[in-house]
Amino acid sequence: MADGEEALAAVILAAGAGSRMRSELPKVLHPVGGEPMIAHVLALARAAGAARIVVVVGHGGDEVARRLTDLPLKDAPVASAADRAPSGAGAGGARCAPKPAEPEIVWQREQRGTGHAVAMAAPLLADFPGDVLVLYGDTPLIRPETVRAMQDTRKAGHAVVVLGFHADEPGGYGRLVRGADGTLERIVEARDASPEERAIPLCNSGVVLAPARLLFDLLSTLDDDNAAGEIYLTDIVAAARARGKSAAVVLCPETETLGVNTRADLARAEAAFQARRRQELLEAGVTLVAPETVFLSRDCEVAADALVEPFVVIGPGVRIGPGAHIRSFSHLEGCTIGPGATIGPHARLRPGAHIAAGARVGNFVEIKNAEIGEKAKVNHLSYVGDASVGEAANIGAGTITCNYDGVMKHRTEIGPRAFIGSNTALVAPVSVGAEAMTGSGSVITEDVPEGALAIARARQVTKPGLARRLMARLRALKVARTRQREG
């Protein structure tokens, strides 16, 4: 935490059953941008500077907790990271940053409303010396800039800050009732609102920022005397005002507050996320030939002057360097692509693939857990897994590294400027030295020394006239069998 920065904790509500999703998967684990929705919310909390993150789980809580431990601790910026080139792509030194907060799990065993859910975090945070930001695991689109605006409003002297938005169709949203001076007086849930209150277009997102001690103290005073019979988090506004505390509203676009309750909501969230992410890359100097056909992840990094053709999927953990060219119908995940490299069309890069500057990976090529050296070429119909390909090596069409023996994986090492003939099968563990060659159609089971040529295939035998005689025999057999069936 920087000097002078206020302490912040985040409480993420993730206990809902999500029954309208009609899924065995807990709602917050459904993906947007290639990652569970709750991963986006965790990244938001960390981007806001949260020193503590408490996740309140309930339905499917064991699975949610397990997935949270699997999520990487590091979080790329939610905004475009195009100014940060991938490792080896000319990037400057990384900034030192504190270790991101790990999520702490608490349970809401009984579903008694949002106020009750937040109160589950009281044993961990009631004495926290700063503010608590309440977020929702099914609301993945809120931006760090929006949270910063809430923090600025808190610093201006308001005890409780609520995130609101104007809705064309307020429907079931809670309404924010403001006084003549513009401060927030109370929040009224739709089912408890009068006709006049339901006519208010200013709606509640549910996101709240307040001092930890005040928040949990207010929650302890609330009851469930309302239409839903639940403890509403929203009631803290009126409770704070009754104590002479000020409350305020920070506004954001309605799209940011989209909560996912149905599969249709999930599709809308995905579309909104993709539109935002594409715009970020375009503004950062990335060429997207047909932006609406490119699908991006939250944490992917694409450097300026990269070019992405139509129908490309850039999944989680992808880093693309400046001037790289990603051709159509390629699928990338967990890989690094260096400056000026060319990928595709129809290429698949799986986790652990590292493509160096100027390398070429062509059509119908799959790379997994392998390093492709500078200016190396893997241009056609090949699989390279658990391998290292040296600088300026050439991998012929149809080459495969046979890396799996049914139990364990093994590596293949190919030296600089080696030439692997078409249809070579490299049975790992095996190495091919610098400037060595393999003959087309070879099955290489032993190491090939530097500069050597290895040929491992049966000698061709030619039988003159045998093809015609064999075909005549087969045709005669077919005719005989046909007559036998018809007779």
Q: What is the pLDDT of residue 415?
A: 98
Write the CB contacts of 62 (distance below 8 Å, at least 6 apart in sequence).
none
Q: What is the mean pLDDT of residues 211-216?
A: 97
- 119-166 pLDDT tens trace: 999 999 999 999 999 999 999 999 999 999 999 999 999 999 999 999
Q: Are 88 and 303 in contact (CB under 8 A)?
A: no
Q: Name the β-bridge partners of 20.
A: none
Confidence bin at 228 (pLDDT 50/70/90): confident
Confidence bin at 88 (pLDDT 50/70/90): very low
Does residue 89 have a pLDDT over 90?
no
The whole-angstrom separation of Cα 151 and Cα 363 is 49
Confidence bin at 217 (pLDDT 50/70/90): very high
The two tokens of residue 304 are: 């300026």
What's the full length of the chain, in residues?
487
Q: What is the pLDDT of residue 111?
A: 86
Does residue 292 have a pLDDT over 60?
yes
Cis peptide before 345 (omega within 30 of 0): yes
Q: Are 59 and 50 in contact (CB under 8 A)?
A: no
Q: How far is the CA of 368 from the CAs of 109, 116, 171, in angstroms?
A: 42, 47, 49
Q: What is the pLDDT of residue 486?
A: 87
Q: What is the mean pLDDT of residues 411-422?
A: 98
Q: What is the mean pLDDT of residues 280-286?
A: 98
- For residue 281, give the 3-state DSSP assignment: helix
Where is 468: in which H helix or E strand?
helix 466-486
Sorted by where each starts, the structural domains of the chain and their CATH numbers stand as 8-257 (3.90.550.10), 274-454 (2.160.10.10)
Q: What is the mean pLDDT of residues 307-335?
A: 98
Where is 44: in which H helix or E strand?
helix 37-47
The two tokens of residue 288 are: 């997207």
Does residue 76 have a pLDDT over 90?
no
Reported in sequence order, the residue ranges of 246-296 that DSSP labels E, i.e. its strands, are 247-251, 287-288, 295-296
Ramachandran sector of residue 18 (left: φ over 0; alpha: ψ -120 to 50; beta: rest):
left
The whole-angstrom separation of Cα 132 and Cα 147 is 12
Q: What is the pLDDT of residue 93?
A: 40
Q: What is the pLDDT of residue 256?
A: 96
Q: Name the β-bridge partners of 287.
A: 307
Q: What is the pLDDT of residue 18?
A: 87
Q: What is the pLDDT of residue 75?
A: 53
Q: What is the mean pLDDT of residues 211-225?
A: 94
- Residues with a known catalytic role: 380
Q: What percentage of residues in the chain have a pLDDT greater than 90?
A: 85
- 423-456 pLDDT tens trace: 999 999 999 999 999 999 999 999 999 999 999 9
Q: Are 378 and 372 in contact (CB under 8 A)?
A: yes
Confidence bin at 85 (pLDDT 50/70/90): very low
Q: What is the pLDDT of residue 96?
A: 52
Does residue 297 have a pLDDT over 60?
yes
Q: Name the β-bridge partners of 401.
A: 426
CA 137 to chain CA mean position, Å: 15
* Residue-by-residue DSSP string for 381-404: S-EEEEEEE-TT-EE-TT-EEE-B
Query: In whole numbers, what is the pLDDT of the chain averaged over residues?
Result: 92
Stretch among 46-50, 108-112, 315-319, 470-474 having the lowest mean pLDDT: 108-112
Does residue 79 have a pLDDT over 60?
no
Name residue, tokens 């938005």.
Answer: 165
Q: What is the mean pLDDT of residues 258-271?
A: 96
Name residue, tokens 């990384």.
Answer: 94
Q: What is the pLDDT of residue 83?
A: 39
Does residue 392 have a pLDDT over 50?
yes
